[in-house]
C-alpha cells in the first residue's frame, strides 16, 4: 500500500472494501503477562507474521462470501514509555516490515493510553464506506464491548482475539466471534503454560504466585 493509499484508508476515504484489524498492544501484553506470571520469553511472544497470514485467510473468506474484492488493513496501537524508544524501535520496524501500520503514542501520564485512539479509529471506519469486517485483539470489554456490538448490529462481521481467561464479555456475546490467540496456527513457538480453574487435571495443579509475598512491603 502506497503512502497516499494508506492515508485514504485510515481516514475512511478509500473506496476499497477492507477488513480492519486493531491490535491493542498494552492490553494484549498485560493479558499474556498475567497468563505467564511475568514477562514473556521469545518462545511465548506472538508471531505477527503468523497472525498476518490468519488475517489474510479471514479476509479472503469474507471476500468469497460477499463476492467482492476485499483487502486487509492491520494496525498495532502501542504506548512508548519515556526512555524506551531504542528498545521498542526494532519491534516497531519489524511490524512495519511485515505489513502492519503502527500507531505509537508516548506514555506521559496514566491517562495517555491508546484506548481513545483505537475507538476513534473504529468510529471513523464504521461511518465510512467499505468496512467489510472488524477484528479487535484486546480483552478490554469495558472499552470495546458496546462499540463492537453496535458494529455487529449493522451487519459487519466482528471477531475478538484474546485469551479465553480474560474475555468472558466476548465469549458471552452471540453477536461476536471469539478466537483465542493460541488457537491461531503458529502464533506461538511453544504452547503457553496455561492452567484454567475450569479445566484442571484430575490430580490437581500448582498455581504459582504472580509476585512474591514480600511485594506487600513495598
Kindly state the average pLDDT of the residues 185-191.
Answer: 94
CB 95 within 8 A of CB 102: yes
Share of the chain above pLDDT 90, in %: 69
pLDDT tens per residue, range 143-186: 999 999 999 999 999 999 999 989 999 999 999 999 999 999 99
The pTM (predicted TM-score) of the whole model is 0.86
pLDDT tens per residue, range 96-109: 999 999 999 998 88
| Higher pLDDT among residues 181 and 199, named by residue | 181
Instruction: State whether residue 132 is helix, strand or coil.
Output: strand
Query: What is d(CA 165, CA 95) in angstroms, rounded to the nearest whole number?
Result: 26
pLDDT tens per residue, range 106-130: 988 888 889 999 999 999 999 988 9
Q: What's the mean pLDDT when you consider all of the chain?
A: 90
The alpha-helical segments, DSSP class H, found in the chain are 3-10, 25-36, 48-66, 85-98, 115-126, 141-153, 168-171
CA atoms within 13 A on the CB side of 121: 26
**Given this model, what pLDDT does residue 38 score?**
81
Amino acid at each position: 500500500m502506497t503512502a497516499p493509499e494508506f492515508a485514504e484508508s485510515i481516514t475512511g476515504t478509500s473506496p476499497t472494501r477492507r477488513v480492519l484489524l486493531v491490535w491493542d498492544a498494552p492490553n494484549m501484553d498485560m493479558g499474556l503477562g498475567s497468563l505467564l506470571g511475568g514477562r514473556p520469553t521469545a518462545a511465548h511472544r506472538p508471531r505477527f507474521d503468523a497472525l498476518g497470514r490468519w488475517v489474510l485467510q479471514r479476509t479472503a473468506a469474507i471476500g468469497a462470501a460477499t463476492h467482492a474484492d476485499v483487502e486487509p488493513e492491520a494496525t498495532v496501537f502501542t504506548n512508548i514509555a519515556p526512555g524506551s524508544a531504542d528498545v521498542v524501535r526494532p519491534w516497531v520496524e519489524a511490524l512495519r516490515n511485515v505489513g502492519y501500520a503502527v500507531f505509537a503514542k508516548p506514555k506521559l501520564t496514566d491517562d495517555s493510553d491508546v484506548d481513545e485512539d483505537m475507538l476513534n479509529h473504529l468510529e471513523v471506519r464504521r461511518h465510512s464506506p467499505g468496512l467489510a469486517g472488524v477484528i479487535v485483539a484486546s480483552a478490554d470489554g469495558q472499552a470495546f464491548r458496546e462499540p463492537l456490538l453496535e458494529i455487529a448490529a449493522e451487519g459487519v462481521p466482528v471477531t475478538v482475539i484474546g485469551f479465553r481467561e480474560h474475555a468472558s464479555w466476548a465469549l458471552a456475546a452471540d453477536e461476536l466471534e471469539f478466537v483465542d490467540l493460541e488457537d491461531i496456527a503458529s502464533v506461538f513457538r511453544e504452547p503457553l503454560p496455561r492452567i484454567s480453574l475450569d479445566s484442571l487435571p484430575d490430580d490437581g495443579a500448582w498455581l504459582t504466585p504472580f509476585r512474591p509475598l514480600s511485594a506487600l512491603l513495598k
